[in-house]
């Protein structure tokens, strides 16, 4: 009886997992690349309030243990600058669901030989390719 209960509960747990997505920028260049991520103040204030308590969140964004914090952070214009080392990746967004939620991102500027600017969410999401269902990548070459 206990085995049956364990199997049933385990089945529910496995089936109830929410899908997660990852939208990452992969630097396939032989040199390091810098990116500037502009954050959407209106969206931040919807989630965090107008008292600017989101500043600490932005200072640690993307809050991954193996990704260092921004090399520069403009608290007035809400722009973080990150270095993506050659052969490394940067997790721009991740969360529950199958489609990247980029509402917090106002723009993305890639500072490399060609310097590319994505001025809105539509341009940015169209730059990503879908790999493995919910893994979205933007490859820099």
In a domain, 9, yes or no: no
Task: Using alpha carbons only, give the angle 83, 86, 89 rounded to the nearest 5 degrees.
Answer: 65
- Can you give the residue range of the structural domain that contains 54? 21-140
- Per-residue pLDDT reduced to its tens digit, 59-80: 888 876 566 668 999 999 999 9
pLDDT for position 5? 55
Report how far apart the first and last C-alpha atoms of the chain are (Å, whole number).
57
In a domain, 13, yes or no: no
In a domain, 50, yes or no: yes
- pLDDT exceeds 70 at position 122: yes
In a domain, 113, yes or no: yes
pLDDT for position 10? 52
- Per-residue pLDDT reduced to its tens digit, 49-62: 888 888 888 888 88
In a domain, 28, yes or no: yes
In a domain, 118, yes or no: yes
- pLDDT exceeds 70 at position 85: yes
pLDDT for position 6? 56
pLDDT for position 108? 97
Count of the separate structural domains present in the chain: 1
Region 98-109 average pLDDT: 92
In a domain, 1, yes or no: no
pLDDT for position 7? 53
- Per-residue pLDDT reduced to its tens digit, 9-49: 555 555 557 788 999 999 999 999 999 999 999 999 998 88
In a domain, 5, yes or no: no
Distances (CA, A) of 32 to 20, 59, 66, 90: 28, 21, 17, 12
This prediction has a pTM of 0.83
Task: Using alpha carbons only, give the angle 58, 64, 69 rounded to the nearest 5 degrees.
Answer: 50
Q: What are phi and psi of 69, to 5 degrees?
A: -70, 175
């Amino acid at each position: 009886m206990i085995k049956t209960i364990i199997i049933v509960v385990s089945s529910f747990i496995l089936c109830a997992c929410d899908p997660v997505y990852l939208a990452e920028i992969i630097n396939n260049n032989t040199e390091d690349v810098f990116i500037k991520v502009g954050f959407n103040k209106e969206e931040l204030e919807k989630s965090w309030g107008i008292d600017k308590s989101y500043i600490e969140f932005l200072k640690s964004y993307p809050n991954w243990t193996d990704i260092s914090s921004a090399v520069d952070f403009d608290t007035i214009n809400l722009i973080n600058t990150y270095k993506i080392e050659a052969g490394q990746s940067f997790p721009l967004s991740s969360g529950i669901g199958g489609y990247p939620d980029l509402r917090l991102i106002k723009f993305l500027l890639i500072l490399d030989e060609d310097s590319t600017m994505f001025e809105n969410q539509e341009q940015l999401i169209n730059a990503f390719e879908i790999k493995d269902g919910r893994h979205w990548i933007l490859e820099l070459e």
